[in-house]
Structure 1
Amino acid sequence: MSEWTWEYEGYDPAGERLRESLCTLGNGCFATRGAVPESRAGLVHYPATYAAGVYNRLESAVAGRRVVNEDLVNLPNWLLLRFRPRFADGSAGPWFSPDTCRPLDHRHSLDLRRAVLTRTFRFRDDEAGVLGVEQVRLVHMADPHLAALRTVFTAEEWSGEIEVESVLDGDVTNGNVHRYRSLDRRHLVRVRTGASAADVTWLSCRTSASDIGIGMAARTVAAGRPPTASELRPSHRRAVHRLVVPVAPGRPAVVDRTVALHTSRDRAISDPLGAALDRVATAADFPALVDSHAAAWARLWRGADIQVPGEAGRVLRLHLFHVLQTLSPHTADLDAGVPARGLHGEAYRGHVFWDELFVLPYLNLHFPEVSRALLDYRHRRLPQACRAARAAGRAGAMYPWQSGSDGREETQQLHLNPRSGRWLPDDSRLQHHVGSAIAYNVWQYCEATGDTEYLHTKGAEMLLQIARFWADSAEPAPGTGRYRIRGVVGPDEYHDRYPDAARPGLDDNAYTNVTAAWVLGRALDLVRRLPAWRRQELFERIGLDGGELPKWEEVSRRLRVPFHQGVISQFDGYGDLAELDWDAYRTRYPSIRRLDRILEAEGDSVNRYQASKQADVLMLGYLFSSAELRALFHRLGYDVDEEVWHRTVDYYLRRTSHGSTLSGLVHGLVLARARRAEAWSYVHEALEADIADIQGGTTGEGIHLGAMAGTLDLVQRGLTGLETREDALFLDPVPLPALSEYGFSLRYRGHWGIGVRRRSGQLEIRVPDSEESPIRVVLADRAVSIAPGETCTLVLPED
């Protein structure tokens, strides 16, 4: 395979779901999984199409309770195309299926440069002979409402006809995640089908509760040679176009299918079906669509590509490909957040968690307009977050752990442990640290872009309301002069209550408290920085009394951080928990990543042990540089030097099961600075997380978008030590032997295409010619100014 190509040889039913996720094609508005076109959803295949922000809510009976869940909706299947040979007597063979007729020479090739998926295979029909098939598909990046599929049939030493059925299938449900199978999964209602021309079929429907209209139209033509028969067969929930095309040696048959998809959430349309019919009627032919699609991707790659030699570079490019398919420049026109599993599957129900914390640092310096749109998604839901805070008896904004259509808390009330088969209470909604992640993203976006207009308006509203929530959540601890934040869950997620406690929640989670203190400090800085008229206007708009600010200042300096055995405690009482016999569990189970499920199935609870799912305290080292972290603790009245931090890193490394794909990513970046010799194993795990499906089946339910974007940021920010602050690029490169050479480009403060390249102990920075001001680059031992059109080569100190 080349550095731009991913190939899958042979047909492997057991690996089909994984390949479908990794071969998903999308354009930021919608995406379609890489299922074989002739398949329908079942135990092996799962064809599905998802549109950003299209959710629906259903009620189900679970464990004797009525629960409501909102899901990213599986839309009608536009991809379905099946075929079979026809014989001279008018009879036909069976419809081809790789599950009943084993294909020969089966191969999928994903071309990352042009974003097309090509499938080639041959199969032998007992009566007709061998038929070669090539299928090429795309989801158009230039026109975000189009997709296309070309199928080429080549007969080997026989002549005859191929019968083809091109189908728009509205008889679909949400069935990608097996553990959701007992829930209500049918989201589409009022399905209608029809035909508008000799070669166009259509389908329209609506979501049952959110009432989003969906219009889909398909134009199917036999390119080059007219079909011997063509028939449109609209039926209940399916629109079928049947063609019969001649085929002979040296005279292949080509069937092109162009599909348009619109929803009622789209702008500048009258109705979804009418828009889909208009768009498909005027769409170019397949070769022209490929050309314009490839040209759009070429523009994306010029501004986003990352160059790293070897296999790591290939994986990073695949990760970037999937990030851009989920969050492209088209996303800037949508009201959509960052779905944790991309537009690739139904795990986590397509909800928005805190994953933008790992995504925006990359996007800020490549596609800042997309970052701004993702922050706007949060700003539009600020009123809902304020209502949630009031309902909880708090001031400010309490953002939900899981968000969907309108910003209410979408975290499920129960979750299923597949090991035990039991439905258990889900208290992860107590992860209020998601608010700090949003505030961090606002600040980092504005630092990277210089977008003071956003910082002083929407950004300020979010930042101050989140700060307000933390200040009101902090309770005085009598006799200590400290404040506490109680009843929360940290990023670890395993621990949601104290052993045998009746109520969920933990006290003084270190990550929550330190990031809350950071939010309060940044909010105070912003208030001081705002022009007086804007400050007054902002205070009036959000109803903020200036008398609240002294408490913000006090809480930002006096929040409690617990310690034990000379290390930072994950939460108050963590050091009192029992130690787990890690060796025993590693011996008994092939994988202990989901240790919580293992212990619950044994009748035990992970809440009893010093065992973490993923980085919690160590997330602080992911977000903040060493100097900034020391300053944060100093502001809180604690002395956390390098020795204390390294001791803390060592402590939690021995007590983490890495049950999240984010864990290896965070540990890799932290160790690159704390214990470099061990960093690569975690970086390698982060790179392999999805392509090797290290969690055993989860990638088939959707890629892990935060982990994929985070590996890009690991190179861009982790290895370079890149920080955007004080109107400068701060760099503190880390030598990691396995990734000693790399290059990428940045957009920064009006400069498009700043080139950064490291090789042979040197860091080269190239600023393209423009009318912009010079940029200031600061290293630990020097600062330089680089004017547009100049290249600066910096010799790095020996490690």
Structure 2
Amino acid sequence: MNDWIFIYDGFDPEKESLREALCTLGNGYFATRGAGSEAQADAIHYPGTYLAGGYNRLSTEIAGRVIENEDLVNLPNWLPLNFRIDDGSWFSLMTVEILSYRQELDIRKGVLSRTIRFRDRQGRETSMTCRRLVHMGNPHLAAQEIVLTAENWSGAVTIRSALDGRVVNAGVKRYQSLNNRHLEPLNAGSFNSDVIYLEVRTNQSKLHLVQAARTRVLKKKDPLLLERRVIEEPGYIAQELTVDVTKGEIIALEKVVSLFTSRDRGISEWNLEAGKAVESAGSFNALLKTHSLAWEQLWRRFEIEFRKPKSQRTRVYDSRSIPRDPGAGGNAGLVLHLYMFHVLQTTSMHTIDLDVGVPSRGWHGEAYRGHIFWDELYIFPFFNFRVPEITRALLMYRYRRLGEARAAAKKEGWRGAIYPWQSASNGREETQRIHLNPQSGRWLPDNSHLQRHVNAAIAYNIWQYFQVTGDMEFLSFYGAEMFLEIARFWESISTYNPDLDRYEILGVMGPDEYHDRYPGAEKPGLNNNAYTNIMAVWILSRALELFDLLAEVESRDLCERLGVLDEEKTRWRDISRKMRIVFHDDGIISQFEGYDRLEEFDWKGYRKKYKDIQRLDRILEAEGDTPNRYKASKQADVLMLFYLFSSEEISGLFQQLGYPFEYETIPRNIDYYLKRTSHGSTLSHVVHSWVLARSDRVRSWKQFIMTLQSDVSDIQGGTTPEGIHLGAMAGVVDILQEGYTGLEARGQVLWLNPVLPKELRRLRMHMRYRGHSLSVEVTPQRIKVHAFPCASGPIQVGCKGKLFNLKTGDTIEIPL
């Protein structure tokens, strides 16, 4: 079983949109969905191309009010490369008899290919092989090749190669009533006989984009000199070439494309750069060679090797043979590689030089409009231990928008900074105020901007990045400033209750989006969400610790610049010891104050009635009901605490607050909330697999498998075609990387505390920690850590309370 080739046998129009999302190719700068070069946007296909950070705003009148949305823009379609034989129709899978069809995504090399044999209406049989890449080495280049064999015919083949800027944003059905025409055409033409170009501009953000395409026809690897006819329309340009082909002859069509924008660095003028790039680019095979090398080097850094028992090495979901369609089940290594592949295509080495965040749905489609949420909480660990420079760049996206976050806090009457639940171009709150329930067809209020815990996620990410890297420069110049301003926000939103001698946080939402208000309440918001309150305590505690970490001069300058006084620090300390946490049912941490008064939900009855109740909120709203009435969660909320913190850390926080925390607290709460969760978010199975790892490895592995299925099986019924779920993809990898190994960077020690399920015999990975390149291998019997030679000093590795010194070039083995 090949863990690197993702295969679809047969053409299935009903599943094509899912395949196009899962076969997206990208390089961190731009991405193109896996539609065929002959495809046009219709009910079956959606050939979208997206620029990292390429946003535009449009207004629409909906439900009696004007709303403005900022969207990730669908760019001009560079894929069109089609042909027809004699005076026949242009090639389309829908108008020919398909004799054989196979689509392969080579994950190791980043190449999408199709092999097709077909018979047209005239009885002519043709075989074609298509290959495509979006260059991982050069962020501005992409290329495709089509090889045609005339099996039983001779005739004239006309080729059309185009750049189509007439596209709109139409990839998400529920957004289609919104204004969606983001591009305005500017210029089109030819640089020379081989190269055409198209320039467009977004109509609000005024982002200039240009694509240039070089098209060649080859016989026996030699380019042919053919007459070209140029076709121009507003926002569209194409070339047509005609070549004579005899029976049994083979021709190759090759198209190399460049993409540049007005925001690119190190250029003179985007049109000139685009033309120069394609003129100097090599052949498809030459580009494939350098592209494959870039991917090979990435995999050296990021691959995680794992071995299962022999009886399970080719089976993942059940005991049946692995089906050909990966969406129906398949090899765990293959799915993990696929998910890592998509994470690396969204945030690559090229991200380091860009001002972009990491979107929850990748650059793979238009779902969530390409916005940045809190999913980076699940994604950053993947990079922290491999290429932390990528994490640093993504954190700088947040730092550059600190001014907008300060303004948002001030507008609400708070101090410090409040980052938006949904962020895009400049960091303003992009959360829509109304959203459509496709089940009922009604537009409803959207209160998700009350998820202030996004602030906690950003602070947590800053701290974890520093724990892994020890990057004092980042902390001193950027990270500490963000962290302290976030701490100030939590201090200012905390309300003192003199009757309880406790601080409270009122009017927020937790990670569980099913609950945004109390039953019957007019005003949205909930009080004392446990996750939010504990995260505020942790942030205030770490903020005080920051002053000891920073050099004295840096600490002094930062306090002067921000106006942090000793009185403010005293209040932080007081809140961090007196925050209120609500409990019910003898030790269950209440998700929020009043949770215990909600009704129990009829899980059995609704599963029988609807079968799939993941989006229980939509089902209940369509019935005229609301999940606000029930003890029913969309995803992990309280259990996020056990996902982010070790038992030692969370116990310490509860003791700091003066609350009891027993050995059974964690498993008791896991069991309680797991029974009351619908898993309406793909992130839910990630968290539940993680938190079960130590108390119930069997159930943990089942949740792990469910997370593996999230996108390949589109378990949410139609969401993946609109864009992958990047947090779940990275999160399932991190279950192996950190969850089952117990890997944790804390207190200048690299901790390991493995709990491998019986389905895993060995995990091995390369990683970086505080300047060291390490090889880490975990089996049920031992841990082996090797430090490759470097100039860094020794580090400490911890396991089961014991510390081991590891010097460069040395290896330590720890028996379990």
1:222–1:253 contact (8 Å) kept in structure 2: yes
Which region of structure 1 is more displaced relative to structure 2, 593-602 or 161-170?
161-170
Deviation at 1:249, TM superposition (A): 3.9
After superposition, where does 1:37-436 map in structure 2 within 5 Å? Answer: 37-86=37-86, 92-127=87-122, 129-223=124-218, 224-226=222-224, 228-309=226-307, 310=313, 311-436=331-456
Alignment match, 1:744 = 765
Pick one of 608, 614, 630 that aligns with 2:651.
Answer: 630
Distance in 2 of aligned mates of 1:102 and 1:786? 64
Which residue number in structure 2 is paired with residue 600 of structure 1? 621
Residue 252 of structure 1 and its aligned partner are, at CA, apart by 0.5
Match of 1:481 in 2: 501
* Equivalent pair of 1:122/1:131 in contact (CA under 8 Å): yes
The aligned counterpart of 1:547 is: 567
Match of 1:562 in 2: 582
For residues 549 and 784 of structure 2, the distance between their equivalents in structure 1, rounded to whole angstroms, comes to 35
1:344-743 to structure 2, matched below 5 A, reads: 344-566=364-586, 567-743=588-764
Compute the TM-score of the two structures, normalised by the length of structure 1: 0.97
| Distance in 1 between residues matched to 2:420 and 2:121, nearest whole Å | 58
How far apart are 1:105 and its partner, in Å? 1.0
One-letter identity of the residue aligned with 1:71:
D
Contact kept, 8 Å, 1:154 with 1:248, in 2: the verdict is no
| Distance in 1 between residues matched to 2:519 and 2:152, nearest whole Å | 73
Q: CA deviation at 1:132?
A: 0.7
Q: Give 1:228 shift.
A: 4.8
Inter-CA distance 782–500: structure 2 relative to 1 (3 Å threshold):
same
Q: In 2, distance between residues paired with 1:277 and 1:80?
A: 18
**Pairwise CA distance, 1:465:** 0.2
Secondary structure in 1 aligned to 2:693?
helix
Distance 1:651 1:698 in 2: 28
**CA shift digits 1:470-492 (9 cap, x unpaired):** 00100011211100000000000
* Separation of aligned partners in 2, 1:640 and 1:178: 47
8 Å contact kept, 2:127–2:149 = yes
Query: Is the 1:521–1:553 Cα contact (8 Å) retained in structure 2?
Result: yes
AA paired with 1:396?
Answer: G
Please list the CA deviations of residues 319-340 of structure 1 after superposition, one character each: whole Å capped at 9, or x if unmatched.
1111100000100000000100
Deviations 1:742-762 (A, max 9, x none): 21110111123x111223522
Q: Is the 8 A contact 2:185 2:234 kept in 1?
A: no
Bigger drift between 720-729 and 207-216 goes to 720-729
> What do residues 196-241 of structure 1 show as CA deviations (whole Å, max 9, x unaligned)?
2101111001101110000110000112251554222222211101
- How many angstroms does 1:629 deviate by? 0.7
The residue identity in structure 2 corresponding to 1:215 is V
Runs of 4+ in 1 over 4 A off after TM superposition: none
Asked if the contact 1:153–1:247 (Cα under 8 Å) also holds between the matched residues in 2, the reply is no
Gaps of 5+ in 2: 308-312, 314-330
How far is the alpha carbon of 1:639 from its aligned partner? Answer: 1.1
- CA drift at 1:168: 0.2
Contact 2:96–2:121 (8 Å) recurs in 1: no
Equivalent position of 1:89 in the other structure: none
Task: Give the Cα–Cα distance (whole angstroms) in 2 for the partners of residues 269 and 97 of structure 1.
Answer: 39
Tell me how far apart the structure 1 counterparts of residues 100 and 552 of structure 2 sit (CA, whole Å): 71
Instruction: Report deviation, 1:541.
Output: 1.9
2:36 corresponds in structure 1 to 36
**C-alpha distance in 1 between matches for 2:559 and 2:407:** 18
Partner of 2:191: helix, strand, or coil?
strand
**1:693, CA displacement in angstroms?**
0.5
Measured against aligned partners, the alpha-carbon deviations of 1:266-324 in whole angstroms (never above 9, x if no partner) come to: 11112222221111111111111000000111111111111124422221111111110
Shift of 1:532: 2.7
Asked if 2 retains the 8 angstrom alpha-carbon contact of 1:47 and 1:77, the reply is: yes
Per the alignment, residue 317 of structure 2 pairs with: none
Contact 1:721/1:734 (8 A) holds in 2: yes
Secondary structure of 2:128's aligned partner: strand
- CA distance, structure 1, for counterparts of residue 523 and residue 475 of structure 2: 38
Amino acid at match of 1:182: S
> Following superposition of structure 1 onto structure 2, how do residues 3-22 of structure 1 map, counting pairs within 5 Å?
3-22=3-22
User: 1:87-140, CA deviations, whole angstroms, 9 ceiling, x for partnerless residues?
Assistant: xxxxx1011111222422111110011100011101112336101111100000
In the aligned structure 2, how far is the partner of 1:657 from the partner of 1:229? Answer: 61
Supply the distance in 2 between the matched residues of 1:395 and 1:230 (Cα, whole angstroms). Answer: 64
Percent of matched pairs sharing the same residue: 51
Question: Mean alpha-carbon deviation: is it higher for 342-351 or for 247-256?
Answer: 247-256
3-state DSSP of counterpart to 1:163: strand
Paired AA for residue 764 in structure 2: G
The one-letter code sitting in structure 2 at the alignment partner of 1:556 is S
The residue type equivalent to 1:457 in the other structure is: F
Deviation of 1:702 after TM superposition, in Å, equals: 0.6
The amino acid across from 1:708 in the alignment is M
Q: Which amino acid aligns with 2:242?
A: V
Q: How far apart, in 1, do the equivalents of 2:97 and 2:416 lie?
A: 60
**Superposed CA offset, 1:326-361 (max 9, x none):** 000100000000100001111000000001100111
Alignment TM-score, normalising by the size of structure 2: 0.95
RMSD of the TM alignment (CA)?
1.2
Pick which of 152-161 and 225-234 moved more: 225-234
Asked if structure 1 preserves the Cα contact closer than 8 Å seen for 2:126 and 2:152, the reply is no
Superposed CA offset, 1:381-426 (max 9, x none)? 0010000000000000000000000000000111100110000000
| CA–CA separation in structure 1 for the residues paired with 2:283 and 2:549 | 55
Distance 1:279 1:538 in 2: 45
Structure 1, 212-221 or 735-744: larger mean CA deviation:
735-744
The match for 1:27 is 27
Cα separation, partners in 2 of 1:228 and 1:529, compared to 1, 3 Å: closer
Give ranges in structure 1 of 5+ residues lacking alignment: 87-91
Partner of 2:319: none
SS at match of 1:106: strand
Amino acid at match of 1:94: S
Which AA in structure 2 matches 1:371? T
CA distance in 2 between partners of 1:663 and 1:598 (Å): 19
Cα distance in 1 for partners of 2:807, 2:498 equals: 56
1:526 counterpart SS class: helix
Paired residue for 1:773?
A: 793
